[in-house]
Amino acid sequence: MSKDYPYPIARIGLIGGGQLGRMLVRAAKQLGCTTTVLDPVPDSPAGQIATRQIVAGYHDADQIRELARASDVLTFELENIDAETLAELEREGHAVHPSAAVLKTIQDKLTQKQCLQDNGIPTSRFAAVESPTESQFAGFGYPLVQKARRGGYDGRGVSIMHSPADFAQHLPVPSLIEEFVDADKEIAVLVARSTRGEVVTYPAVEMCFRAGENVLDLLLAPAGISPQTQARAEQIAVETVQALDGVGIFGVEMFVRRDGEVLVNEIAPRTHNSGHHTIEANITDQFEQHLRAILGLPLGSTEALSPAAMVNLLGAPNEQGRPVLRGLEEVLAIPGVCLHLYGKAVTAPFRKMGHITILDHDIASARAKANQVRDTIEIGAENE
Ligand SMILES: Nc1ncnc2c1ncn2[C@@H]1O[C@H](COP(=O)(O)OP(=O)(O)O)[C@@H](O)[C@H]1O
Ligand SMILES: [Mg+2]
């Protein structure tokens, strides 16, 4: 006999009110849940549509406790938050998913790598660096990638060094260094694992980055990889989430080397930029799936309904202020274009302001339209 549920089904407490939170709130409404969002920015993208927003920082222990009082389950849309308070709340009996332990492991890129290594999950060779020295880097061997242990995102906190001359650009913080992977492709697999232990994966997607920038430039679903590589990537992604004992949705970023070997790059313990297309292109999107997972509901089908391409809409360089959309009509006239704007009051250079998913029966055509979209639409700032 299945149990009866109240309506609303659950009160979700969400730390972080950015675009990922906004899309999660939308899914929560659809699934019959209410949401309280904690974010320092009043009227945050998620707060605008949530039942309630608590205006507070991600490390404000008192207000995180207030969030817990107002919620049946706590979750988050970013890693740089107060894991200690979440651990205390768990001990007091609050549901927190993913768990504080998983969050702590992933918050620190060094312990994250160690977890991969300890569980036999393929990843590049690495070493811990307390304070960077030229001789340690040289001893490890170039080319290498230095990563700050904490606080990095969208490529901030990552420095790629090809030769000893690049040591001048090192980050002067506790770090890890890892072997540079000569990747043929970067892919990501989303894995959802529920409180009941049910696990599903989404088809691998291909992430394309622009040279010199580490923000995702274009996403293609499905990835242009062989069925063997697809199967291997899904297997590694599931093993990774199981090794963590993770509950919720996880974005597992991977490299496909030129010799076909698949290596895990990093894990996001949350919904992921590489899964935005699932809103239109898959039966169950990543946001609803995350909620199903943390509420112990049956997981939904991850089946793809259509090939898709996705581009982030980033704030134009050198423009800051009230957003203005250029090229909007031309872009909306392209068949298969699905526009998402995040409700940010101010644009800034390279800030994530929205995204566009393009559905097309043919992935090459979706990609061509995505390039056209990117060249046509621009989010700038109004002239003062
Ligand atoms: N070991 C590596 N070898 C080659 N490229 C790397 C390596 N590590 C990171 N990169 C590049 O830098 C990007 C950002 O690094 P990542 O660890 O994913 O940090 P972030 O948290 O900023 O996403 C990756 O998507 C990849 O393009
Ligand atoms: Mg990354």
Could you count the other beta carbons within 10 Å of the beta carbon of residue 123?
24
Domain end position, chosen among 96, 112, 145:
96
pLDDT attached to residue 2: 82
Looking at residues 251-275, what average pLDDT do you find? 97
Which listed ligand is nearest to 112 at the C-alpha? 1
Residue 163 structural domain = 125-179
pLDDT attached to residue 216: 73
Give the model's confidence band at 384: pLDDT under 50 very low, under 70 low, under 90 confident, else very high.
low
Pocket test for ligand 1, best of 107, 113, 117, 145 (most atoms within 8 A of CB): 145
With 90 as the cut, is the pLDDT of residue 94 above it? yes
Does 265 sit in the ligand 1 pocket, CB within 6 Å? yes
User: Considering only CA atoms, which of 199, 156, 149 is closest in space to residue 178?
Assistant: 149
pLDDT attached to residue 154: 73
Residue 269, preceding bond cis, omega within 30 degrees? no
The CATH number that applies at residue 163 is 3.30.1490.20
Based on the domain organization, do 241 and 341 belong to the same domain?
yes
Task: Please tell me the total count of domains within the chain.
Answer: 3
Domain end position, chosen among 150, 179, 208:
179
Based on the domain organization, do 144 and 265 belong to the same domain?
no
Q: How far is the CA of 315 from the centre of ligand 1 (A)?
A: 22
Based on the domain organization, do 70 and 153 belong to the same domain?
no
With 90 as the cut, is the pLDDT of residue 43 above it? yes
- 104 in a structural domain: no
- 119 in a structural domain: no
pLDDT tens column, 47-83: 999 999 999 999 999 999 999 999 999 999 999 999 9
Which listed ligand is nearest to 186 at the C-alpha? 1
With 80 as the cut, is the pLDDT of residue 1 above it? no
Q: How far is the CA of 92 from the centre of ligand 2 (A)?
A: 33
Does 79 sit in the ligand 1 pocket, CB within 6 Å? no
The CATH number that applies at residue 72 is 3.40.50.20
pLDDT attached to residue 212: 65
Based on the domain organization, do 297 and 350 belong to the same domain?
yes
Based on the domain organization, do 243 and 367 belong to the same domain?
yes
Based on the domain organization, do 226 and 253 belong to the same domain?
yes
- Return d(Cα 213, Cα 209) in angstroms, integer: 7
Based on the domain organization, do 151 and 36 belong to the same domain?
no
Per-position b or e across 74-98, b if 16+ CB within 10 A of its CB:
bbbbbbebbbebbbbbbeeebbbbb
Q: How far is CA 340 from the centre of its chain?
A: 16
- 210 in a structural domain: yes
Q: How far is the CA of 265 from the centre of ligand 2 (A)?
A: 7
- 222 in a structural domain: yes
Give the model's confidence band at 155: pLDDT under 50 very low, under 70 low, under 90 confident, else very high.
confident
- 265 in a structural domain: yes
With 80 as the cut, is the pLDDT of residue 355 above it? yes
Based on the domain organization, do 31 and 174 belong to the same domain?
no
Pocket test for ligand 1, best of 80, 150, 214 (most atoms within 8 A of CB): 214
Does 204 sit in the ligand 1 pocket, CB within 6 Å? no
With 80 as the cut, is the pLDDT of residue 378 above it? yes
Looking at residues 117-121, what average pLDDT do you find? 98
Q: Which two tokens stand for residue 281?
A: 């292109």
- Return d(Cα 288, Cα 23) in angstroms, integer: 9
pTM: 0.97
Which listed ligand is nearest to 178 at the C-alpha? 1
Domain end position, chosen among 144, 179, 214:
179
Nearest CA to ligand 1 atom 27: 214
Looking at residues 117-129, what average pLDDT do you find? 98
Stated as kind and residue range, the H or E segment containing 103 is helix 100-107
With 90 as the cut, is the pLDDT of residue 97 above it? yes
Based on the domain organization, do 153 and 79 belong to the same domain?
no
Strands annotated E in 180-314: 183-193, 199-201, 205-209, 216-221, 248-257, 262-268, 308-314
Q: How far is the CA of 335 from the centre of ligand 2 (A)?
A: 31
Looking at residues 109-125, what average pLDDT do you find? 98
Give the model's confidence band at 281: pLDDT under 50 very low, under 70 low, under 90 confident, else very high.
very high
More confident of the two residues 299 and 2? 299
With 80 as the cut, is the pLDDT of residue 101 above it? yes
- Return d(Cα 93, Cα 112) in angstroms, integer: 26
Asked whether 116 and 240 are in contact (CB, 8 A), the reply is: yes
Does 182 sit in the ligand 1 pocket, CB within 6 Å? no
- 114 in a structural domain: no
- 289 in a structural domain: yes
Q: Which amino acid is at 245?
A: D
Stated as kind and residue range, the H or E segment containing 175 is strand 175-179
- 21 in a structural domain: yes
